[in-house]
Amino acid sequence: MSAPLVRVAVLASGSGSNLQALLQADLRPAEVALVICNVAGAGALEKAKAAGIEHRLIEHKAFPSREAFDQAILEQLLAKRIDWVVLAGFMRILTKVVLDAFPERVVNIHPALLPAFPGTHAQAQALRAGVRITGCTVHLVDSGMDTGPILAQTAVPVRPQDDEAALSRRILREEHRTYPRVIKALAAGQLQKDKNGRPFLGLEGPGALSALRVPAFEEEQP
């Protein structure tokens, strides 16, 4: 008998492009078992519905506090026996209500090479700083703003003609490639600890995931 699939819940607030990338990828031994969205009418809900994935609308505005909102999310996660929580454009900072229930099992993707340019509008931050390389980072979520342990990064060059929209599109394309690979690796048990107890993705053995991917710049599409 085959082992049960690792159950993933995706939390989203917007169009759901990273959700779509996860739904289209081979995540085995993981599966997207639940999508939770906090914004009515968001594209992520429609993508989940179209894919036949269980989905819930839990609007944060309906709750008196962040903790009460997170408790409603947690109840759904526990009811659906979720193993990993994946943030995909989820525009809320989770509290200890969820983080303590899923220690080192909440993951996020950010459109910059953390620790550079945390928070919102990371692409615009990169352009203002004049960096020549930026990218995306997958990290575990802690109580800070994009401060959790880094699991994987993909570099994206900044071109002289880039504006925020153009750079965002190219970073997003790499997010769609990177995030499914990381979720698959996590579900396969590749999360390890270094000598100081800090989590990292194992780099040994067949199919191991490199922590830093640098696509050939000449292969990039506009």
**What residues are annotated to the active site?**
110
Distance between start and end Cα atoms, the chain:
46
- Contact residues for 28 (Cβ-Cβ < 8 A; gap 6+): 5, 184, 187
CA-based diameter of the chain, in Å?
55
Six-digit token string for 80: 């659906």
d(CA 69, CA 73): 7
Phi, psi for 64 (deg, rounded to 5)? -75, -15
Burial 3-13 (b: 16+ CB within 10 A, else e): eeebbbbbbbb
User: How is residue 219 annotated by DSSP?
Assistant: G
- Contact residues for 130 (Cβ-Cβ < 8 A; gap 6+): none
Which 3 state secondary structure label does DSSP give 134? strand
